[in-house]
Chain A
Amino acid sequence: MKDISKSINKVDNEEKISGKAKYVADYTMDGMLYAMTKRSSIAKGEIVNIEYPDLPKGYFIVNHKDVQGKNIIKMIFEDWPVFTEKNISYLYEPIMLVIGPEKSVLVDIIEHIKITYKEEKPIFAWTDSVIDYHFDKGHGNRIFDDADEIIEHTYETGYQEQAYIEPQGFIGYPEGDKTTLVGSIQCPYYVKNAVIQALGEKDENVRVIQANVGGAFGGKEEYPSLIGCQLAVAVKKIKKPIKLIFEREEDMLVTTKRHPSKTVFKAAIKNNQIIGLKAHVSIDAGATIGLSGVVLSRALLAVSGAYTIDHLDVSGDVYRTNTVPNGAFRGFGAPQMFFAVDMFIEHIAKSLNFDPLEFRENLLVKQGDRTSTNGLFREPVLMPNMIKKVIDESDYKNKIKQYSQKGNFKGIGMSLFFHGCGFTGSGEKNIIKAKVRLKKTKDGKVHILVAAVDMGQGIKTTFRKLIAHMLELDIEEVVFNNPDTDFVPDSGPTVASRTMMIVGGLLARAAKEMKSRWKEVTFTVEKEYEQPDYIKYDELHFIGDAYPAYSWGVNIVEVEVDPVTYQVYIKKSWSVYDVGKAIDEKIVLGQADGGLAQGLAYGYLEVMNHKDGKIMQKNMTDYIIPTAMDMGEMETYLFDNPYAYGPYGAKGVGELPLIGGPAAVAKAIESAINKNIYKIPVTPEYIMELMNND
């Protein structure tokens, strides 16, 4: 049988290249209306009064009074109203939809809605802690009593915007008693369940269909539930098709971003070795808590990075501020922490006068080591060989020596990292309870029925390939359409690097059974998630195995810094990843390139900040993502390390390649300018500051 990793032509290449693939903005329907959003013009306060202009015939206002169910979005922590009723907690908070056939009229109506507020002083400082976590490993803080030296540094990370090229949007329409939404979404059932709650409707009266998704990266995980609910309320009231598509500026001003963070690290040093770490992580939730607690968890769990440290004292806070809500973004807290910890370990090595590479290699996680929460790294850890491979390919050792000489402004940096695959803790078992179905039809075709979304990561191809491979069918005999909740079971959201490992794993189990019953003409196999026995996690106390498996990575990046303008040029990067087993090599390499580009750019390029709660970089001109000119050549190697519960051994892929980017590029810049770096993005402005301190 062929090696499953061998690449095939992606099944959606043809429709995407030819421009035939339909995205949500491409749909129109007879009698369709448009929706636009009236938003708050203050960051904090109360609505005192709203004056409406006379609405022309055929135009509507939809607000909190129209919400027949709960005026709150269903998600992990429920504190987002569908429409704000009274209290404003961030600038541009949605207050109502204005709906009608002509956009120019909508713009006019929105301009003439006069809202009076009672303004309050907004809070932007990190003072209002809404979640705080703490856990110890080993002796916790007590280890510091044994220290003969303590090293302390603080690391900061900024906002990052997902900057999917396709902005958010839905089209909604009534089908009899049913309210149907078609949208650019990662999680059809998140939207469906949120709409059920907002409409107070029966399950069968809400239908959610995924349109082709033009990039998501976490940005279309929970945010679409908000606008999906708003639109569903409108459709149910007006009983006509309505389209709600964000334009770029609106998208960038109001949708969720990566949480800015600050990590205060202390290391207890004895006999020139790290004996323990203490860390406190602060993240900015923005105006609502939403997923922030889980983001903080993932950051805290990665506290010791790819290294084993026996004694840890770990704590963190989620702070609420009167700014745009932050949420899911590829990596989900891990990129913030891996930047901080990988820099910290390097800085410790430097200040103890050790070779940072040797120092780090000695601390590396080995199979059988304890995780930060006293779980076990059960699977083989290939990091030593992976590091060797990437060092050889990049000539790292020679270069780091050569570049350390003052005045050549070249630099090279290396990051070591992992990603816990799938949901944190017992989320899969307790919350998601994924279900998948395979259906064999009379014509001998096999239909994949899952709610997983192809947002570019290639799941349409890899799922069909997986099933075709297992059932020894031609890929054309396997059918997988964009999920429609009327036809597919809830296999969970397309997030957390879980899709191939968890959903694909369930599909593989279903395919195995289907194969054994193949002579039956038509039948359906359903499988439900069963947690591997070894996973026992105490979420309250942070004890046990937080993840079923880990993917691993090493990035090396080479840069040049212009000493006149302090600009950074990425020359080349080398990466090695262990994702268990690639279901399609080229697709994994595509994920690797794209993830690294986002990670590098997060580390040196992408600046976003707010002024009095207003995002300053509100378009693609001012928010800088890389162009083809900015990314150097990327070389990537994959190491096989099959995981028993993943299909053909596959583990998580999607988030991993972003995580090491920031530390790798920051270290490369450190090596070019011979200064320690404590925050990202490492902008030319920051480099100038550092270089001025000579």
Chain B
Amino acid sequence: MKRKLMALTLATAMVVTLGACGGGDSSGGGSGESGASGYEDPADLSELDYEFGVDTTFHSDEPVSYSLLFSDHENYPYKEDWRIWSAIEEKTNVTFDINLVNRVDYDDKTSATINAGSAPYIISKAYTETPYVDGGQIVAISDWVQYMPNYMKAVEDWGMEEDLRQLYQSDGKYYKLPGMWEKAAGGYSMVIRKDIFDAAGVDVTELEKNWTWDEFIDALIKVKEYTGADYVWSDQFQGQSSISISAVQYGVTAGWGVGNGLYFDWDSSKFTFADSSDSYKEFVTMWNRMFEEGLLDPESFTQDNEQGAAKFYRGETYVLSANYQNVADMMSAERMQDPNAELYFVVYPGGPEGHLQVESSRLECGLMISQNALDELGEEEFVKMLRFVDWLWYSEEGQTLCQWGVEGETYELDDEGNVVLNSDIYYNGINPGASKQLNVDYGFGGGVFSYGGSEWLRFSKFTDAEKDWNERIYANTETRKLAPPIMADEMQKEEMNLIQTPLIDYVNASCLQFISGDLDVEADWDSYVSQCESKGSTKFVDMANEIFEDTKDILGM
């Protein structure tokens, strides 16, 4: 009897649990429908209790506070008395109710607060919104952007429509307000010891204009011969960065950028599975050559970032993956042990697909707006909050404030309109050795508020050396078209994920095995391709193409 009772209890619990899991969405997707509101501004805008507009500073008549999930960066930990808070309040009469989370744990906290239905109104620094779309806890913001004049102006002036397509979900809406750059820039490449390359007879400044990864390997061979080093390259980031940026040049995906392994062929307007293609074979062959020639330290794929970097600083290796911030840090902190070391941030090499610009997206993380904001504020106050967001994140005045602070206090504009940071303030390699820091001491130029903007604003924060690197990238590489998004609905997403997870795990593991020679590129290739097939690569591609066919009208393709 006892056993029967227990079995019955467990069975009931299971049914209830399963029911709860399956039924979660029935009331969920409400945000989409409710978002397309009938809200209309009063005929006389002066009736509103705030000012807004393209050339108008947002200002609320009454003090107002909005809750904000804030991603705290250890480089410049949050301070209550940062000037940015009072500067925003002075201009707009708005304060933030901050919900602070370390950036390391930010995604977990975002997930917990959204899924529990207690998310703050504004969720900043959101890299991915897709997991929350079906839950109904974040607002389909594309229904509301028409109330945001600065945002709309940026979309129109910079031709962002195609970029924004990347964010579309299966309902043809998007759920994130992305950071928008007028021009793509930045990203990762390799920093090299130019003094050693020069001495080895390799003129990188000439080579980089149109080099391929194979030519890069030839250059490294010369450096190895000259130095007699065991390895010339011991990478950081577990090799993920270099593998990823080289994959782009072969029309495949790997490393950080592995994604779903799909490549969009613009000629046939179809997706293909890139990571079992002949291009992928060429790609792993190239990396295997790097390995076989004894250029790349096998520890590159396992060691901590610090260990890889230490070998470079000690002068044991001569190449290291980095972004420009890393390079600036190496220089300003004088990390190189050899005082004669000359660092040079190269243009990444090209490949069979051409010499392509890796950083092709002009979108940068972004904001999600919680459904709580709409429910608790009501439409009128919600639109008011959006217009504040619009001013702070999308107007040139707001972006300049967030980036550089208060004119006359932290920076000046010279006769040509260029930003001149006060000499006692350091930022991003500008004014090295200054006693204060723009982000640490003032809160300006931080990752939560300061991303996106015009080309002028973006370049204003680069040192001459960083500008030079970006100019070289623009001059020597071609931009590439952005692949359309796969606008899968909840069920399709689920089904595709079930295939994608084991498939991409297998691809990633095999990639390293091919590179390190554990798998032979010639002998084991066919078995690799058939394994990909058996893990569902063809079905995956078919699904992607089917979804694309069904949704390409929404995308306008």
- Asked if chains A and B come from one complex, the reply is no
Interface residues of B (CB under 8 A from A): none
Interface residues of A (CB under 8 A from B): none
